[in-house]
Amino acid sequence: MTYDIKKKISIIIPSYNEEKNIAFLIEQISKTLNPTGYDYELIFVDDGSKDNTLNEIKFNAELYSNVFYIELSKNFGKDHALKAGIGMAKGDAVITMDADMQHPPQLILKMLKFWENGYDIIYTYRQNANPHAKSYQKATSKLFYKGINMLSDIKLEDGTADFRLMDEKVVKQLKLIDEYEIFFRGIVKWAGYKQMGIPYIPSKRHTGEASYSFFKLVKLAVGSIMAFSARPLYIVTGIGLVFSMMAILYIPYVLVSYFEGYTVSGWASMIATIAFFGGLQLLVLGIIGVYVGKIFMQSKHRPNYIIRSTNLISVNNDLIRV
């Protein structure tokens, strides 16, 4: 394999409570990338960790000249941490990966090869259901990919990961995106370009626990799907239309009952109808409410993240340490 040594690779690693994984990950990435001759930098984004993650990153940033940190002012969530890192990255290619060793560093070599062969985005997806995930995580994950593929205009492979390489020209475009709730797996697929998906087998978390609870996952799933499509609105409009037609057909029955004097009977069917339509209306209102909420949040134009401190600064398009 021949590598262009002049090219720089920025690796963005969002980290939330990963104190015991930082040093190990740096070691593993170095082992993988040092022999290639690429110039590379590791940008850790501390997403408001409650443990010693930030100090651990700072310690390594002192030790290695190619390790950088961005400290966010609180926990903003992984996608926003990714955006913070991508916003600062200056590499010819940018790689995003998890801090917990579930994304095998070895795969980076494969990504670089495809990149050198002209691909702009090399993304990864889990080959099988993650053998290390809890069963509720597997279930929500499956449901999520089914949902997003059915309801939105992008197609994501089952188990698409935030482990990917993007060419600088893609990153340049991503930096311009100003969405309140950014969902990178979707945005990257949506962006187009020459894409290549490669499967991988996720490793076990090096240490610690995955930080997404069931409710956080459901919220993320619903939010991401609705961020990518207005289709649920059309679907509920359709349902509303069908039921209105059925209600019109119901009128002759109501009239006949009235003239024949059966008006008191039919209580059960009336209650059932009211309950059903009441529920349906609440559901539809809820869906519309979520979209209105998104418009509300977007209209405030708040930043996706706030940086509390960093040892990165960009001068003449080069990152330097401060």
- The stretch among 71-79, 223-231, 240-248, 303-311 that binds ligand UDP (CB under 6 A) is 71-79
Q: Is 100 in the site for Mg ion (CB under 5 A)?
A: yes
User: At closest approach, how far in Å is the CB of 73 from ligand UDP?
Assistant: 13
Q: Which two tokens stand for residue 199?
A: 């499967």
**Sign of dihedral through CA atoms 205, 190, 179, 222?**
negative
Strand partners, 94: 10, 166
Q: Is 180 in the site for ligand UDP (CB under 6 A)?
A: no
| Partner whose footprint covers residue 77, from ligand UDP, Mg ion, none (CB < 5 to 8 Å by kind) | ligand UDP
Please name the residue ranges forming H helices in the chain.
Answer: 22-33, 53-63, 78-88, 107-116, 135-151, 168-176, 184-191, 214-228, 231-260, 267-299
Q: Does residue 36 sit in helix, strand or coil?
A: helix
Q: Which two tokens stand for residue 2?
A: 């021949």
Q: Is 102 in the site for ligand UDP (CB under 6 A)?
A: yes
CA distance 282 to 285: 5
Q: Is 81 in the site for ligand UDP (CB under 6 A)?
A: yes
Q: Quick one: which of 47, 71, 120, 167 contacts ligand UDP (CB under 6 A)?
A: 47
Cβ-based nearer residue to Mg ion, 46 or 100: 100
User: At closest approach, how far in Å is the CB of 102 from ligand UDP?
Assistant: 5
Amino acid at 22: I
Q: Which residues would be at the binding site for ligand UDP (CB under 6 A)?
A: 14-16, 18, 47, 75, 77-78, 81, 98-100, 102, 210-212
| Footprint of Mg ion (CB under 5 A) | 100, 102, 210
